[in-house]
Amino acid sequence: MSTLVVDVVTSDDALHRLGPAWQYLWQRAPAATPFQSPIWLLAWWRVFGTQHPVLACLYADSRLAGILPLYLLDDVEGRKLLPIGVSLSDYFDVLLEAGAPDDAADVLLAAALRTGADSGVGWCDLIDVHPDASLRHVQPPAGWLADWRRTEPCPVLTLHDEAVPKRQRRKLRMAGHRADRLGGCRFEWSSGADLARHMDALLRWNGAIWGMDAVTWQFHQAAAAAMHSADLLRLGVLHLGDSVAACCTVMPQGSDRLLFHLTGFDPAYGAASPGSLLLAAVIEAARAEGRSEMHFLRGGEAYKHAWGARDRHNAACRLRCL
């Protein structure tokens, strides 16, 4: 039987030293999402971190077997705990290796809350807990009250042969005709020296619609480069004639899911629906790989449902110290 030990990391140096073991744990965790990779989370921490991590770590015979990555934040409400990666990570959960004890999430949460309370934390917000997360079943420790609520929809498209509704397929045919008049469309995955240039275009177009400050821009550029190098992120590019008209980032999760992350298109080509043509190409690429689901992540935008996606909902839990 393994000897189990819980430790809580509370310094920047220890956080970064944990990186290799953390990545090895992520590779062994069967349900891990790309948003739980330390490559993603440490990129976030370098840009947004407070220098006050609270990472509850479970060790089995000295092997890192579980981690709950939180941090301390002081704001107008007081001192609280939040997930590392908050607001830019669409899915959050505790990271556990296969065969971890049934109560591992409870144990890690209790350790993090105990450490937080010792530092004056009054509550902890677990945000964007995805539908399959282990944290959905967590029990608050004594002295803490948990209040769960359903949050944003995260539409998911099932990739069977008739996944795309007839109306959307008709619109795609019309968009294809318009694209032909512009010199035709071509899809590719970006790589090498083109990656930064395509990512810059994507962020510029996406930011023009949704807004993006310079710090968030910096994070996405750094995270995309690091995730792409580790084969955890792809950047799709749609060309109309000789011009780049639309770009997107996607993240593979296991062998069956593809997470559709950021997207943007050049408004000069809006009449040709480059975003739809790009998404159609990504869906076909996912099908060709044998994937069964396309996750559109947070937000109930109408275009996601137009493709036939069905809502699943994240949840949030506020834990309050009594």
**What's the confidence (pLDDT) of residue 192?**
87
| Residue 51, both tokens | 């220098």
**What's the confidence (pLDDT) of residue 161?**
65
Tell me which residue of 289, 296, 183 sits closest to 241, measured CA to CA.
183
**What's the confidence (pLDDT) of residue 239?**
97
Indicate the pLDDT class of residue 282, thresholds 50, 70 and 90: very high
pLDDT in tens, 33-71: 999 999 999 999 999 999 999 999 999 998 999 999 999
Residue 283 has pLDDT above 60, yes or no: yes
**What's the confidence (pLDDT) of residue 77?**
83
Residue 179 has pLDDT above 90, yes or no: no
* Cα gap 243→274, rounded to integer Å: 11
Mean pLDDT of 5-18: 96
pLDDT in tens, 244-266: 999 999 999 999 999 999 999 99
* Cα gap 230→291, rounded to integer Å: 20
**What's the confidence (pLDDT) of residue 81?**
98
Output 234 or 4, whichever has higher pLDDT: 234
Residue 177 has pLDDT above 90, yes or no: no
User: 156-295: which CATH topology?
Assistant: Aminopeptidase (3.40.630)
Question: 21-25, 180-184, 275-279: which range is least confident on average?
Answer: 180-184
| Residue 230, both tokens | 């580790």
**What's the confidence (pLDDT) of residue 30?**
87
Apex 266 CA angle, 261 and 271, nearest 5 = 110
Residue 173 has pLDDT above 70, yes or no: yes
CATH of span 4-152+315-321: 3.40.630.30
Task: Please tell me what DSSP assigns to residue 135.
Answer: G
> What is the per-residue DSSP string for 248-315?
EEEEEETTTEEEEEEEEE-GGGGGG-HHHHHHHHHHHHHHHTT--EEE--S---HHHHHTT-B--EEE
**What's the confidence (pLDDT) of residue 171?**
86
**What's the confidence (pLDDT) of residue 162?**
66
Q: Where in the chain is the domain with CATH 3.40.630.30?
A: 4-152+315-321, 156-295
Cβ burial of 3 (10 Å; 0-12, 13-18, 19+) is exposed
**What's the confidence (pLDDT) of residue 222?**
95
Mean pLDDT of 270-278: 93
Residue 1 has pLDDT above 60, yes or no: no
Output 297 or 75, whichever has higher pLDDT: 297
pLDDT in tens, 78-126: 999 999 999 999 999 999 999 999 999 999 999 999 999 999 999 999 9
Beta bridge partners of 250: 234, 260
Percent of the chain's residues with pLDDT above 70: 98
